[in-house]
Chain A
């Protein structure tokens, strides 16, 4: 009966309740869309930049990340490989031998990052073949290179042309190789698209005179949210001559940017919820003022103040829940649409983003947690605001209240 009473009470002033619910629904809609979009954009960036290139974590010889030279490469060790692969949460590993090199074709030369890979390992980790626009995936026993489209364009290279690579070998001598282009890759991140080339790791080891060596062991995760646990486990278990770094440690500037952007968004959401809080509070205050006499009467009849307060609390919960649910119902199709049809900037804006290494695509992410979190925030705001009316009800004097 108390819940029935609370439910009917919120419809006593239908217009006021609907306006309050609409305000809450708008806030939830805006908050869910903003957070989904922000997390979607960062998720997309991380996926582009992190899962494809750095992986979620990497194991190196100690000091490699500080000074990325072949001197800091390590000898591939089966025991370490098994230990990393066997860590809970790790679903794929891949050795890489990376070196900066000059790529050349005819009279054109470009700096690039040459990555020696084990094609099958890399495929399991990054699904590299899905980035192939033309040509086919590398094979371990076959000479050849996969070249990013942007780099190929700058060097005026096509599928089947020969790429010339020049760098310094493990022992310091000049290392040069010629290799046919087996495939052209397209990356979302312009940074990767303009500077990366893959060759089989055994060819890279031969070219760089670094037999049996790798610069990194890239770690893939079943679930990205397991990263902290996996990183902890690797850091604790690997021999002292190795280092295990997460993508956040390897690219702190991106993580800082994400955190700064998140902080800005939370400030905006805070302001939004503050405005909504005023709306809810004014409704609660009006409700309290209008019903003093009724509260007094209920108390006179024998209803304990706590029971009256429970009705007031239930009304607040109903009011905020209805608003939140309406907001969720409205936001889901919007977020779904933005996830399926990401906002894509073109023209100058896209170029500006490209300069900073970002793909100018803004997809939303659909995560139950975002929807639940925003509902909980509104609910908590409502409950906090209900403290005042509840306090007033608990201090109720039936005779004074009935004089209203």
Chain B
């Protein structure tokens, strides 16, 4: 199996000089291509911080994150931004689409930053929005879409750059059950059919139930990992 994420000894301490807060404490995480993994845990357990570190948005206080063989801790800020653009897809809790762009432009935007040719961009936009069931909403602005539809556009956008993996921070937190189920169906389909690796933080039992691997984080430490449990059994 191809290793996509290899995080060693990750720690993140806020306010190290005053009142240190250990958000993530000595975490080791290894994800292979094609995994569909949920990172669970109570609020304040360090899920978002860990996702930010793995996604290159935040630097760890200690440890090393290797994505597809590249140690991202050694990258300069501009290189890291470029690395994110080409290797990591993000789905945020609060949809975070660009409000002045249409659904198709939001998806196209990432490929534009990647300087992909127009014909390729157009083809991929059509494909992705069709795969998330929004072929009829190409020209709709985010404020003309429901929360579930916006989150589906966000997934299409995350996939547009053909990333190594997608990090999703509480992707269903703001969705009703029907929209959440539709979104999970889409994410599972992408995972199965396009072999896209997903790592999402969540509280949502519906998501946890659908994940093939569940990592539980408590007080910044990995308390359990279903993959290890399976191996032990």
Q: Do A and B come together as binding partners? A: yes
Residue numbers of A with Cβ under 8 A of B are 1, 4-5, 8-9, 11-12, 293-294, 297-305, 307, 398-399, 402
CB-based contact B105/A1 at 8 Å: yes
CB-based contact A402/B92 at 8 Å: yes
CB-based contact B161/A302 at 8 Å: yes
CB-based contact A300/B78 at 8 Å: no
* A337 vs chain B, min Cβ distance (A): 40
Is B57 located at the chain interface by the 8 A CB criterion? yes
Can you list 16 contacts pairing A with B, beta carbon distance less than 8 Å?
Answer: A1-B108, A5-B98, A293-B96, A297-B92, A301-B109, A301-B110, A301-B113, A302-B81, A302-B84, A303-B85, A303-B113, A304-B81, A305-B81, A307-B113, A399-B52, A402-B92
CA separation between A301 and B156, bound complex, in Å?
13
In this complex, which of A8, A299, A300, A305 has the most chain B Cβ atoms within 10 angstroms of its Cβ? A300
CB-based contact B52/A12 at 8 Å: no
- In the complex formed, the residue of B with least CB distance to A297 is B96
* A9 vs chain B, min Cβ distance (A): 6
CA separation between A300 and B82, bound complex, in Å?
10
CA separation between A12 and B86, bound complex, in Å?
30
Question: Which of B58, B94, B112 is A1 in contact with, Cβ under 8 Å?
Answer: B112
Question: Which of B81, B86, B100, B108 is A8 in contact with, Cβ under 8 Å?
Answer: B100
List residues 58-92 of chain B with CB under 8 A from any CB of chain A: 58, 78, 81-82, 84-86, 90, 92
List residues 22-76 of chain B with CB under 8 A from any CB of chain A: 52, 55, 57-58
Is B133 located at the chain interface by the 8 A CB criterion? no
CA separation between A67 and B47, bound complex, in Å?
94
Given A300-B55, A302-B81, do A9 and B110 touch, yes or no (CB 8 Å)? no
* A319 vs chain B, min Cβ distance (A): 15
Residue numbers of B with Cβ under 8 A of A are 52, 55, 57-58, 78, 81-82, 84-86, 90, 92, 94, 96, 98-101, 105, 108-110, 112-114, 157, 161
Q: A residues within 8 A CB of B86?
A: 302
- In the complex formed, the residue of B with least CB distance to A6 is B100
* A207 vs chain B, min Cβ distance (A): 83
* A321 vs chain B, min Cβ distance (A): 19
CB-based contact A9/B100 at 8 Å: yes
CB-based contact B81/A12 at 8 Å: no
- In the complex formed, the residue of A with least CB distance to B89 is A301
CA separation between A86 and B75, bound complex, in Å?
70
CB-based contact A300/B113 at 8 Å: no
CA separation between A294 and B110, bound complex, in Å?
14
CA separation between A8 and B109, bound complex, in Å?
14
CA separation between A402 and B96, bound complex, in Å?
9
* A14 vs chain B, min Cβ distance (A): 12
Q: A residues within 8 A CB of B112?
A: 1
CB-based contact B96/A12 at 8 Å: no
**Closest 5 pairs between A and B when the two form their complex, measured CB to CB:** A302-B85, A8-B100, A297-B96, A302-B84, A1-B112
